[in-house]
Amino acid sequence: MAANDKVYELLEIYHSEAKSVHAGTGVPLFLMFAGKLKFMLLIGKNDIKAKKLLSDRQAELRYNNWIKNDYGEKYKSGDWSEGIFFTIDGIRFMSMGIGLSSRGLRDEDQRPDYILVDDVDNKKHVNNDCLMHEGVDWIFEDLIGCCNETDGSVKRFVFANNNSHRNSITQRLKDKFREQAEKSRVEGKNPVHHALTIKAVTDLNTFTPECSEKTSEAYWRHKYAFTPTRSFMRYMHVHI
């Protein structure tokens, strides 16, 4: 991601596989220390959850001694409870809930150059086609639209969620990303829209884990045996 100024990533990764840590802490901190981040915008299911996610980023910069030993003190001012904080380098970290007004969002002359939408799907809303449609439109039109629209501008967008329902924002966004990627290929361009899928296991015969560093075949066999099929298949991004 650091090598590309324009990239749109959908991380369809099963629950508990650290997608939020990777996309919300690892990637932005790497970009920051590489001098490639100016303004991170974090979107949560609502404003309260977005601020909680932001608190983890602030805690890393304030209390992670490994970071402080290697890069020095980075935190400057602001607080996650207010929805924004700053580093001594002038980098901004801001949060907001999905669906809130983001048009014209900026801080002084800076607009977001790294946007993370983290775990925003809501099981209570997936059967409301209007709400799901509005959510996707908001992401494409309002949220991504708040980035700079100039030649050479940086747009890095990441959507991280498990795919638990065929009507979810995740599934709809995945379909849109596939359409955009295919359109780029037809035009002879390298796609900037990508979807990464990580399931719990490769299949239900071998139960080979796709992330063997964390869980074993035996773990998933046991979980499958004692979990209703419909519930387990959410770990596989299969909709029943």
91 vs 215: CA distance, rounded Å:
37
Domain 6-198 has CATH 3.40.50.300: yes
Identify residue 156 by its one-letter amino acid code.
Answer: R
pLDDT in the model for residue 152: 79
Average pLDDT over the chain reads 90
pLDDT in the model for residue 18: 80
Annotated domain spans of the chain: 6-198, 201-239
Q: Do residues 210 and 202 touch, judged by C-beta distance below 8 A?
A: yes
Intervals of the chain under pLDDT 70 = 1-2, 102-109
Q: What is the pTM of this model?
A: 0.90
pLDDT in the model for residue 92: 93
CA angle 210, 177, 23 (to 5 degrees): 50
Identify residue 44 by its one-letter amino acid code.
Answer: G
pLDDT in the model for residue 160: 94
Place of tokens 């379909």: 175
pLDDT tens per residue, range 147-171: 877 877 889 999 999 898 899 999 9
pLDDT in the model for residue 212: 85
pLDDT in the model for residue 123: 79
The DSSP secondary structure of 70-85, one letter per residue, reads: HH---EEEEEGGGTEE
> Inter-axis angle of helices 129-137 and 169-186, to 10 degrees?
50
pLDDT tens per residue, range 18-38: 888 889 999 999 999 999 999
